Amino acid sequence: MSTFEDFQLNRRVQQAIDEMGFEEPSPIQAACIPLVLDGKDVIGQAQTGTGKTAAFGIPLVERATSDGKVQAIILTPTRELAIQVAAEIRKIAKYKRVRTLPIYGGQSIGHQIRALQQGVPIIIGTPGRVLDHIRRGTLRLSHVRTVVLDEADEMLDMGFIEDIESILSETPAERQTLLFSATFPNEVRRLASRYMKSPEHVTINRGEVTVPLIDQVYYKVLERSKLESLCRVIDSEEVSLGIIFCRTKRGVDELVEALLSRGYLVDGLHGDLSQAQRDRVMKKFRTNDIELLVATDVAARGIDVENVTHVINYDIPQDPESYVHRIGRTGRAGKRGLAITFVTPREFKLLKQIERETKAPMVAREVPSLADVAERQAEIWRNRILETIHDGGLAHYRAILGNVVDDHDPIDVASALLKLASSDELRAREEADYDFGDTGATPGMVRFFVNVGRSARLSPADLVRTIAEEAGVPGQAVGKIDIFDRFTFVEVEEESAPFVYEALRQSRINGSRVNLEPAKPRSRMR
């Protein structure tokens, strides 16, 4: 096992690394730091969250001198990543006092020009803005010794390749070129040789591209019940910090709206927002002022936020690479995480392809019923209570309780406090927001119109039993059944009606589609 001392770094660089709390180099750092210090070209591949930034950042800072010229340029695919990489390198450079500067679109160019005039040895930028400065003559790369492409496979992909080539052509031919990513499709490796001189290939994650600390599960969902499924999944998980990925910007906006109106602490991130908005959202997420970040793939690569517990692919990613990077926003730097993927019937093939290519099995899970969610929330609260008792320090609160406990049953007192603390999260199920109106049923019952495809071929008795099973309610809760011609009606006890409704509103029995809706009184054919 190596230590950072083995690299015999400048005392002030070592001091900064110590202060960052890095005790020993991660495998990619152990392998790459000596090579980069040596001036070699490197293609570095290691799993998400394993310290690739410092693997190039440390040697760049170590080698930087103060001659007022740009010595190193790091290119990233997104503005957020440029900002983050700049922040990490600034920490490494804290005592050696090497200047760094992020330059990216959406930020005042004048401000960047003034900063560049001060002479900055390490620049971190997005390709578009870097090219902009080159064309204005405000950024000269003729003394660059090292170019880093972070998320290299993405940078050498269609959307960026021309810009990258233009930028590289501004740098000296004898420069050092470094490529880093968690994924390197073969065609990218081949392409990369055009820009590099006999590169060293460092691959840490042999065989497995995803991080073993990330548990991976999937839920089969129907397109139209996705939102409901998402809420149930979130409610039955203890999500302290999560990222939800959507395919489109519009999808992000719509989901943010829907989740906000249901009381979740969320905000959205995508490329159509102003830079000020993007900065504000990222800041809220990093400081845990929101619990859920809904984002497009703009947040899929490189973003490092501490303690992200869950990544949810609300829309399944379009290729295995995107999957690897998205789920890699959790399970970073040795922590555990859970990756959840929603898959609709049409997308099932894609899921299997992702599973095959990442060689990481995903475990199937059932979307929890409302009863499951209620039980999970009760369990979460019970655990919170036990932890609070265990942590102690309750004397102050005991004093506040005063003689309330003398005059009232302590269980009543505790229950009242739970009601207050859970701010209605645990409200009784019969109080839930289900008003089926007058369905013309026997008192105490709700009458549903059931539409079952013919191919299901169920006898009335079987239908009643199947409905109860699907909804997870007692058999006797689903009562009388009337069949008039093609129309089937069932009566369900009021208390069980929401479960039956939620479970069978749209589902399948024996492979045949079922549709259930509250009956209208006049359709009661007596």
Ligand X SMILES: Nc1ncnc2c1ncn2[C@@H]1O[C@H](COP(=O)(O)OP(=O)(O)OP(=O)(O)O)[C@@H](O)[C@H]1O
SS3 204: coil
**Closest among 7, 175, 160, 148 to 86, alpha carbons compared:** 148
DSSP labels, 86-149: HHHHHHHTTTTT--EEEE-TTS-HHHHHHHHHT--SEEEE-HHHHHHHHHHTS---TT--EEEE
Taking CB under 6 A as the rule, which mask of x and - marks residues 22-41 in contact with ligand X?
A: x--xx--x------------
Nearest to 492 by CA among 436, 452, 414: 436
CB of 466 to ligand X, least distance (A): 46
Q: Which stretch binds Mg ion (CB under 5 A): 13-21, 47-55, 119-127, 200-208?
A: 47-55
Q: Toward ligand X, which CB reaches closer, 267 or 321?
A: 321
CB 16 within 8 A of CB 95: yes
* By CB under 6 A, residue 49 contacts ligand X: yes
Residue 304 binds to ligand X (criterion: CB under 6 A): yes
Strands 242-245 and 487-493: unpaired
- In the complex, the smallest distance separating the C-beta of residue 61 from ligand X, rounded to whole angstroms, is 14
51 in contact with Mg ion (CB under 5 A): no
| Interface with ligand X (CB under 6 A), residue from 161, 217, 276, 333 | 333
Report in angstroms how near the CB of residue 190 gets to ligand X at its nearest.
21
- Per CB under 5 A, the list member of 302, 317, 320, 337 interacting with Mg ion is 302
Kindly tell me which residue out of 14, 32, 45, 48 binds ligand X, with binding defined by CB under 6 A. 48
Cross-sheet strand order for the sheet of 100-103: 100-103, 122-125, 72-75, 146-150, 176-181, 42-45, 200-203
Residues 16, 32, 43, 52: which binds Mg ion (CB under 5 A)? 52
Q: d(Cα 122, Cα 116) in Å, to the nearest integer?
A: 10
Cβ neighbours, 10 Å, residue 509 = 21
Contact status: 203 vs ligand X (CB under 6 A): no
Q: Which two tokens stand for residue 123?
A: 């620049």
**Quick one: what does residue 22 bind among ligand X, Mg ion, none, with the CB cut-off 5 to 8 Å set by partner type?**
ligand X
Minimum distance from CB of 89 to Mg ion (Å)? 12
> Which 52-81 residues touch ligand X, going by CB under 6 A?
52-54
Strand 337-343's sheet: what is its strand order? Answer: 266-269, 292-295, 242-245, 310-313, 337-343, 214-220, 363-365
How many residues belong to the site for ligand X (CB under 6 A)? 18
* CA gap 284, 272 in Å, rounded: 18
Give the shortest CB-293-to-ligand X separation in angstroms: 15
Residue 302 binds to ligand X (criterion: CB under 6 A):
yes
Q: What is the DSSP letter of 194?
A: G
Q: According to the binding rule CB under 6 A, does residue 299 interact with ligand X?
A: no
Taking CB under 6 A as the binding criterion, the range among 43-51, 209-217, 379-387, 398-406 that sits at the site for ligand X is 43-51
By three-state DSSP, how is residue 208 classified?
A: coil
Q: Which does 95 bind (CB under 5 to 8 A by kind): ligand X, Mg ion, none?
A: none
Q: Return residues touching ligand X (CB under 6 A).
A: 22, 25-26, 29, 46, 48-54, 182, 302, 304, 328, 332-333
